[in-house]
Structure formats: structure tokens, C-alpha cells
Amino acid sequence: MKRILVVEDNEQNRYLMQYMLEQNDYDVITANDGAQAVIMAASEKPDLILMDIQLPDMDGLEVTRRIRASEADGKIPIVAVTSFAMAGDREKALAAGCDGYIEKPINPGTFLGEIAKYV
């Protein structure tokens, strides 16, 4: 079973992603902020990280950079999941070390297909 770390501070968004993933046989662990995400990436070694960009303590781009620089193993795919959908935001996420980019609000019809590309 593939393990996915969902990094999301919004409870409704976190619940929606967790529910959809668990219904499709993924093992889901969650982090509410960036500091927790960095620790969990190293200790849990998930198969994929879904990274919110707007987090309360540090933004998801910085969290991604810290995970990439840590012993968490830079091979873990990290996908930005964000409401930032302005020109250049996708490029910023990829430059920070994200492997992909999914816009919020999440589209339940395409979300799992997007995730399957990375696990």
C-alpha cells in the first residue's frame, strides 16, 4: 500500500484529500504545518507528499526545499496542491523542488489520476 503525506493546514481540504485517497487504498498521514511536514518526511518516508503552499509557519516552497535538503531522501515526489494559480506560480513550485502542481479547488474527477502519475 502506497503511503501519502498530506501537508495541509485547512481542515476541510485535508479531510477531502484524505478521504479520497483512503477510498482508493492509499495509506494517508497528515501534517498541519511545515515544521511537522519536514519531520514526518524524514521519519515516515512516504511514497508521495502533497504540499499545500500557504502554510501558517513557513510556505510550502520553503518546506519543499528543506525536505529536499534533509535526510528524507530527495527522491520522494512532492506535488504542490495550491490555490496559487497566477502566472509563474507553477514555475516557482517546480523551481523549489516540486515534481508536480495541482490547483485548488481540487477536482474530484481528475485528482486521483493526477496522483497516480507520481506513485
How many other C-beta atoms are found inside a 10 Å radius of the C-beta of residue 116? 11
Distance CA 85, CA 66 (A): 23
Please report the domains of the chain, with CATH numbers, ordered by start residue: 3-116 (3.40.50.2300)
Express each pLDDT in 5-49 by its tens digit.
999 999 999 999 999 999 999 999 999 999 999 999 999 999 999
Per DSSP, the three-state class of 75 is coil
Report whether the peptide linkage leading into residue 56 is cis, meaning its omega lies within 30 degrees of zero. no
pTM of the full predicted structure? 0.95
19, 43, 82, 89 from 104: Cα distances, Å = 16, 28, 5, 13
- Nearest partner of 42 among 69, 82, 15, 16, judged by Cα: 69
Express each pLDDT in 77-103 by its tens digit.
999 998 877 778 899 999 999 999 999
